[in-house]
Amino acid sequence: MANITAALVKELREKSGAGMLDCKNALTETGGDVEAAIDWLRMKGLARAAKKSGRVAAEGLVALALAGNKGVAVEVNAETDFVARNDQFQALARTIAQVALGAGSDVEAIKAAAYPQGGTVADAIASAIATIGENMTLRRAELLSVNDGVVASYVHNATADGLGRIGVLVALESTGNKDELTALARQIAMHVAAANPIALDAAGVPAETIAREKAILLEKNAGKPEHVLEKIAENGLKSYLKEVTLVDQLFIHDSSKSVAQAVKEAEGKVGAPIKLVGFIRYGLGDGIEKEETDFASEVAAAAGAA
């Protein structure tokens, strides 16, 4: 039988918003598997959909860089949040993003690329590790571009120019006024930072995500006639997709319309049709589990050992 610790219950409660007792029961039923426990709670109607933002974040910086009709996002991780305020680390992250504009999205290709101050990006990371004294890694990178249009960026709570914990790029394709187009793309980028869509549209949502949502809807309504269940699942999935796909989400700058409607209405001001090509949203440490420590207990233990 799995050992259901208080820390595990606390983690599930933070991710699901369910009560402590419900979380304990869910973990007991699922053998201590947090993700399975979230599904169990949702099937019982005791929790909302799990969000990536509920996961424990690693430290470091997300860096964005733009050049012409393309932009890139990179995530450079370190061990503590103090490093994110270090000038040398900030310069490293910013320069890696600039290199990635030419090297592309492949992490290994970026690491092998030439670093402006000499050597390769991998050499620069190794040097920073030796100087700053923390382990660091280039975790991921992604490039976004358009043939004719703009790519705009937004960093939420920026640590420095183009650097922060949440970075977003949005690409709009259009032959219209570039200043108006950039302003719209930045508004959409702010929306993406806040609303955290999982895909541009329904076609981009992974099949396994759809299957998981449908299974939860069917389980929550078990016992009803088959034709009723299918209708419930169909309507439930439509509602779910409106919540998680960018084009169908209500625009945070004007909740009377969807993002797709806002883009369509902006065509008059831009002076040409607009296509929302895509977006990138990097939240620092998305999906990385980081061990939590009790600082007070560590100090007490150290004092006892002294």
Residue 5 lies in a domain: yes
Same domain as 121, residue 40:
no
Helices assigned H by DSSP within 104-206? 107-112, 121-132, 178-195
Residues 134 and 272 in one domain: yes
Residues 6+ apart with CB under 8 A from 120: 111, 112, 113, 114
Specify the pLDDT at position 1: 57
Same structural domain, 188 and 70: yes
Residue 107 lies in a domain: yes
Residues linked to residue 77 through DSSP beta bridges, in sequence order: 60, 137
In CATH, what number is assigned to the domain containing residue 4? 1.10.8.10
CB atoms within 10 A of CB 31: 11
Give the pLDDT of residue 56.
35
Domain that holds residue 70: 59-199+262-283
Give the per-residue pLDDT at 224. 85
Q: CATH number of the domain that 165 lies in?
A: 3.30.479.20
3-state class of 164 per DSSP?
strand
Beta strands in 187-272 (DSSP E): 250-251, 254-258
What is the spatial distance between Cα 176 and Cα 88, in angstroms, rounded to a whole number? 40
pLDDT reported for residue 93: 97
Residue 184 lies in a domain: yes
Query: Domain count of the chain?
Result: 2
Which pLDDT does position 271 carry in this prediction? 97
Phi-psi region for residue 96, left (φ > 0), alpha (ψ -120 to 50) or beta? alpha
SS3 content of the chain, % helix, strand, coil (to 5): 50, 20, 30
Q: Of 10, 29, 50, which residue constitutes the final position of a domain? A: 50
Residues 34 and 70 grouped into a single domain: no
The answer to whether residues 77 and 172 belong to one domain is yes
Q: Is the domain of 9 the same as that of 123?
A: no
In a domain, 231, yes or no: no
Give the integer Cα–Cα distance in Å for 125 and 137. Answer: 7
Residue 215 domain-assigned (yes or no): no
Look up the pTM and report it.
0.75
**Same domain membership, residue 84 and residue 42:** no
Domain co-membership, 123 together with 270:
yes
From residue 3, alpha-carbon distances to 62, 205, 292, 293 in Å are 36, 35, 18, 19
Residue 255 lies in a domain: no
Could you tell me if 108 and 170 lie in one domain?
yes
Using DSSP, how many helices (H) and how many strands (E) does the chain show? 11, 9
The tens-digit pLDDT sequence of the chain (306 residues) is 578 888 888 888 877 767 778 888 899 999 998 888 888 887 877 664 444 333 333 699 999 999 999 999 999 999 888 889 999 999 999 999 999 999 999 999 999 999 999 999 999 999 998 888 888 999 999 999 999 999 999 999 899 999 999 999 999 999 999 999 999 999 999 999 999 999 999 999 999 999 999 898 888 888 888 888 889 888 999 999 999 999 999 999 999 999 999 999 999 999 999 999 999 999 998 877 555 544 455 444 444 444
Nearest to 155 by CA among 164, 146, 142, 143: 164
Task: Clarify whether residues 106 and 28 are in a common domain.
Answer: no
Question: Which residues lie below 8 Å from residue 35, measured CB to CB, with a gap of 6+?
Answer: 50
Say if 192 falls within a structural domain: yes
| Residues 12 and 66 reside in one and the same domain | no
The verdict on residue 230 lying in a domain is no
Q: For Cα atoms 111, 115, 118, give the angle at the middle one, nearest 5 degrees.
A: 125
| Predicted pLDDT of residue 305 | 45
> Is 39 in the same domain as 157?
no
In this prediction, residue 50 carries a pLDDT of 44
Q: 44 near 122, Cβ under 8 Å? A: no
Task: State residue 51's pLDDT score.
Answer: 41
| The predicted structure's pLDDT at residue 34 | 87
